[in-house]
Amino acid sequence: MYRAPTGTHDILPAEQPAWAHVRKTFARLCRRYGYQEITTPILEDTGVFLRTVGTGTDIVDKEMYTFLDKGGDSLTLRPEGTAPVVRAYLEHGMHNLPQPVRLHYFGPIFRYDRPQAGRYRQHFQLGCELLGDADAAADAEVIHLLWTFYAELGLRNLSLQLNSIGDPACRPRYVEALQAYYRARVDQVCPTCRERMERNPLRLLDCKEERCQPVIAEAPRSIEYLCAPCREHFEALQAYLRVLDVPWQLNPRLVRGLDYYTRTVFEVWPPVVGGQSTLGAGGRYDGLAEALGGRPTPGVGFATGVERVLLNLRQQGVPLPEQPPLDVFIAYLGQAAKERALQLAVELRRLGLSVSYSPSPRSLKAQMRLADAWRARVALILGDNELAQGAVTLRDMARSEQSTVPLAELPAVLAGR
């Protein structure tokens, strides 16, 4: 027997209403903030991610699903949503539109990672990107949108972690200081950190190894190395967050696993923090468009994993919508009644009701069991008697009451319920 590939999962019918609820809540909110939906392909030229997420990151080095297609082109199942959105912005000349351009998206993301609770090889992200505006008010807006999304879903006790990692003007000086600090402590850190020191020094601060924690605790902080424009931007952002009443925690250790970030980085953590628990995350990426060969275009955005949102809603005991019951089940006895039942189903569906029946003939008892299993509100029974009378027997499934209803009156009777 085949199973879904490791780290992927089916979203079964019983879970669909909760998924739809999360997606709809997000779409409604995005509309209120003036964001328009975009859908990009699930695969891109591999270069889209190499040039932006960056070689040296776990995503590019270890986690991408990359393959040559039959024409010999290297394609990659998207491991994140931001670079594809910026690629689309450039490709469609959206810089010619009034700026900023505000976009939101939903779709599957692929990362060849070690699966565990809340971590998948295929997961789904909801995200927003605001392109073409460098002001800190833009950063505050996307953070406020994400924060409001969680609040409207009913999530409580979240914490917003905030940091600034500077820009190409000031970050090199910080990275040098960080490297110098680590070189003096090579023997105190894990082998991965020894390797990261040269390949991806910012990620040193992200290490989860016990022995590296004291080193991380004393490490130089990016905010102390910010150049004047970056410092002003970060201060302005915090002032706007205060104005918008979003509480945050300054986290000088917060770095992100993608290279394209400049200045603002943020994550939202649930109350119980574990290794893989980040609910949503994002930041500013003013160099991304140029890395893709486009004109310089500032941008800021976030993404949140739908599986993790649902996990946290369930952990916090927030009630989620369930599958709606069936409005009408039609039971029939005999071929003539079956044909009338098929027509009746079509007529009632035209009125907007959900209607189902057994395609194969079954005993009345077996049909009533189906009506129960599908949680029908009402069962209509059609037999020779009913056909002769031009009527149906209507059974209220909850009350177990039956009555005879002339077919002509059926729509009105059903609407009355």
Task: Pick the closest to residue 125 from 281, 328, 286 (CA basis).
Answer: 281
113 binds ligand HAM (CB under 6 A): yes
Residue 305 Cβ vs ligand HAM, minimum distance, rounded to whole Å: 3
100 binds ligand HAM (CB under 6 A): no
Burial 357-371 (b: 16+ CB within 10 A, else e): bbeeebeeeebbebb
| 73: its two tokens | 């082109």
Mark residues 250-269: x for contact with ligand HAM by CB under 6 A, - for none. Answer: -------x------------
Q: Which stretch binds ligand HAM (CB under 6 A): 112-120, 154-162, 359-367, 391-399?
A: 112-120
Q: Are 160 and 217 in contact (CB under 8 A)?
A: no
Tell me if 119 contacts ligand HAM by CB under 6 A.
yes
CB 251 within 8 A of CB 278: no
Contact window for ligand HAM (CB under 6 A) among 92-100, 245-253, 275-283, 369-377 = 275-283
Least distance in angstroms from the C-beta of 91 to ligand HAM? 18
Asked if residues 304 and 280 have their Cβ atoms less than 8 Å apart, the reply is yes
Put residue 45 in one of left, alpha, beta given phi > 0 → left and psi -120 to 50 → alpha: beta
CB nearest ligand HAM: which residue?
305
- Cβ at position 38, least distance to ligand HAM in Å: 13
Residue 206 in contact with ligand HAM, rule: CB under 6 A: no
Cα–Cα distance for residue pair 157/359, rounded to 1 Å = 50
* Nearer to ligand HAM (CB atom), residue 40 or residue 367: 40
- Give residues with Cβ within 8 angstroms of 273, minimum separation 6: none
Tokens 């992927």, residue located: 8
Helix, strand, or coil (residue 146): helix
| Dihedral angle over CA of 369, 406, 377, 371, nearest 10 | 20
Task: Give the nearer residue to ligand HAM in terms of CB position, either 273 or 336.
Answer: 273
x/- letters, 280..319, toward ligand HAM (CB under 6 A): xxxx-----------------xxxxx-xx-----------
Type of residue at 208: K
We find the least distance from the C-beta atom of residue 293 to ligand HAM, in angstroms, to be: 19
Q: Using the minimum distance from each CB to ligand HAM, give the nearer residue, 257 or 298.
A: 257
Return the residue matching tokens 């950063």: 139
- Which CB sits closer to ligand HAM, 260 or 329? 260
| Site for ligand HAM, rule CB under 6 A | 80-82, 111, 113, 118-120, 123, 125, 127, 129, 257, 278-283, 301-305, 307-308
